[in-house]
Structure 1
Amino acid sequence: MQFIVFRKYYCFFQFWNLYIFKTALVGIFHLIFNKDIIAMAQTGRARRIIWMDCEMTGLDVSSKTIVEIACVITEADLTIVDEGLNLIISQPKDILENMDDWCKATFASNGLLQGIQSSKITMEQAENEVVNVLQLILAYIRQHTDFGMCPLGGNSVGCDRNFLRKYMPTLEKHLHYRIIDVSSIKELVKRWYPNIYARRPRKKNTHRALCDIYESIQELNWYKKNIFIPHT
């Protein structure tokens, strides 16, 4: 009887030791062959924010399209990593004629309409791997961030993401599923701290992609300094 009990405990300890050994081995294997994960944690690339802004011919993603797109990368503290990339996409006459009235008036006054008409970058080229909107922006983003790690930032950026998902799905998949919507923070500050909100810096509202991104970053930086409580 004692021999049977001993044998049962012996088998249990053998199994437990084997389990621990296998777990440790898997952990070591994971660390060795996932150096990129360690590198990301050390460099802080995963904490960066991908700021993007699109100018479209309207807000209905089913019938409208992108005419300008810009991208800027910042660190988590909103320090700008690179000056950014701005591209105007050429569109045929019928697309421009089908723009919303607001877009027609705004883009005519801010110079974007003229830029669209003179641009050599077509939406079809967005799937061409040589010189196109998609690859230019992807190359820029991949240079500074890692796949699926960094959130998209901007004002009312959910709308921009819908257009990216339709017209530039490869680019959209590079982004983390979460977004940092400065407009949401703005609406909360307006309701919770109206006196502070009244002192916010005013935007130029040029409705040009790169300018809008820089204003979004500046706006969030202002909220960070005036609303959020610093921790050491």
Structure 2
Amino acid sequence: MRQVILDTETTGIDPKQGHRIIEIGCVEMVGRKFTKRHFHVYINPDREVEEEAFRVHGISNEYLADKPRFHEVAQDFFDFIKGAELIIHNAPFDIGFIDHEFARLGGYPKIAEVCGVFDSLVYARKKHPGQKNNLNILCRRYGIDNSHRELHGALLDAEILADVYLLMTGGQTSLGLANSADSDSKEDGGVEEVRRFTADRPSLKVIKASDDELTAHEERLDLIDKQSGQALWRIKH
């Protein structure tokens, strides 16, 4: 399966109010392995970045002034994501902006018509109900170092989300409960010990019972049959 982990940064929160995408970051995986292919671009939105949005991502109007417009990068972006399953944290936000940008140009289908979409926020809420599940909290929960994430950035966040996704959908965590002395164990998601299994790990060795072990097993079941009736292990459901 080809998957693209995707994130965007924008001038504000609502495309219906004229807000635009200013950064797109994508990381590609095939068979849960990174291919080293990525798509990353800054975009001149032809409008001002709102102050509140700037405080989140730190991308200024001056920095974007000489960047390409969306129509200049649209086809390359579309070709990169077409046919892939998109992994996005809070997918309706990003998909809404992407669909809005393509609709402005005309001639492009909606993303849901050409891509699958996996919303990692929805998945995290089901896996960790009643807890916060933003990207910073998930990094802490799964032992991912995001100390270099002082501000949001589309490519950086896509790379971090890729690690979160792999651990959240394929890693194993300890079954121990958080220490009650940890005051933030419930509020911020707590910290769990994580065993990280890479996607290219070798197959586990299958050890089958020997003939002597199988004979001893059957003798034990015979004894259970005599003492308490038919053994559960021999009942066919």
Q: TM-score by structure 1 length? A: 0.58
Q: Which residue of 2 aligns with 1:189?
A: 127
Is 1:137 equivalent to 2:137 in the alignment?
no
Aligned length: 161
Q: Could you tell me which of 80, 85, 90 is aligned with 1:156? A: 90
CA contact (8 A) 2:5 2:158 kept: yes
Is 1:53 equivalent to 2:7 in the alignment?
yes
Q: Which amino acid aligns with 2:172?
A: N
Q: TM-score by structure 2 length? A: 0.57
Q: Which residue of 1 aligns with 2:160?
A: 215
State how far apart, in whole Å, the 2-side matches of 1:50 and 1:175 are: 16
CA contact (8 A) 2:20 2:97 kept: yes
State how far apart, in whole Å, the 1-side matches of 2:151 and 2:37 are: 18
CA contact (8 A) 1:107 1:113 kept: no
Q: Which amino acid aligns with 1:76?
A: G
1:1-232 to 2 correspondence within 5 Å?
47-63=1-17, 64-77=19-32, 79-92=33-46, 95-96=47-48, 99=50, 101-108=51-58, 111=59, 113-119=61-67, 121-123=68-70, 126=71, 132-141=72-81, 149-169=83-103, 170=108, 172-173=110-111, 176=114, 178-191=116-129, 199-201=141-143, 203=146, 204=149, 206-223=151-168, 224-226=170-172
Per-residue CA deviations over 1:20-54 (Å, capped at 9, x if unaligned) read: xxxxxxxxxxxxxxxxxxxxxxxxxxx21122211
3-state SS of 1:158 partner: helix
State how far apart, in whole Å, the 2-side matches of 1:200 and 1:209 are: 20
Q: CA RMSD in A?
A: 3.1
CA contact (8 A) 1:54 1:68 kept: yes
Per-residue CA deviations over 1:84-130 (Å, capped at 9, x if unaligned) read: 111111133xx215x2x32122343xx555431332x023xx1xxxx
Q: Which amino acid aligns with 2:55?
A: A
Instruction: Please list every run of 5 or more consecutive structure 2 residues that lacks an aligned counterpart in the other structure.
Output: 133-137, 174-196, 198-202, 205-237
3-state SS of 1:84 partner: strand
Q: 1:156/1:174 Cα in 2 relative to 1: closer, same or farther (>3 Å)? A: closer
More helix by share: 1
Q: Which amino acid aligns with 1:91?
A: P
